Amino acid sequence: MQRVKLLWDFFGPDSKKIAEHHLVHLSDFSKNESISFHNSGIDFESENNYYSFITIDFSNLDVIKKKLKPNRAFKA
C-alpha cells in the first residue's frame, strides 16, 4: 500500500509547543475516526519553524485532507 506523509507547519518562537500540542489533536482524531497512522511526530526546519506530521495509507488521504487540511504532503 502506498503511504503519504502529511505535515502541518507552525512558525514563531512557540512553534515547537504548538506542534507538540497539535500532535495530541491528531492522535485524538485518529482514535475518533478509526484511522491508524504508521508514524507520527514533530520535527523542525529551523528554530522558528516546527511541524507535526503523520504517515498514513493513501486510501485515507481524502478524509484527512478534507477535515484537517495539511499544509504539505509527500509520498512516503
Tell me how far apart the alpha carbons of residues 66 and 57 are, in angstroms, rounded to a whole number: 15
- Please report how many Cα atoms fall inside a 13 Å half-sphere around the Cα of residue 7, on the Cβ side: 15
| CATH code of the domain containing 53 | 3.30.70
pLDDT of residue 1: 82
In the numeric block, which cell numbers belong to residue 12? 514563531
- Asked whether 71 and 52 are in contact (CB, 8 A), the reply is no
pTM beyond 0.95: the answer is no
pLDDT digits 0-9 by tens, 19-62: 999 999 999 999 999 999 999 999 999 999 999 999 999 999 99
Domain extent at residue 29: 3-75
The count of structural domains within the chain is 1
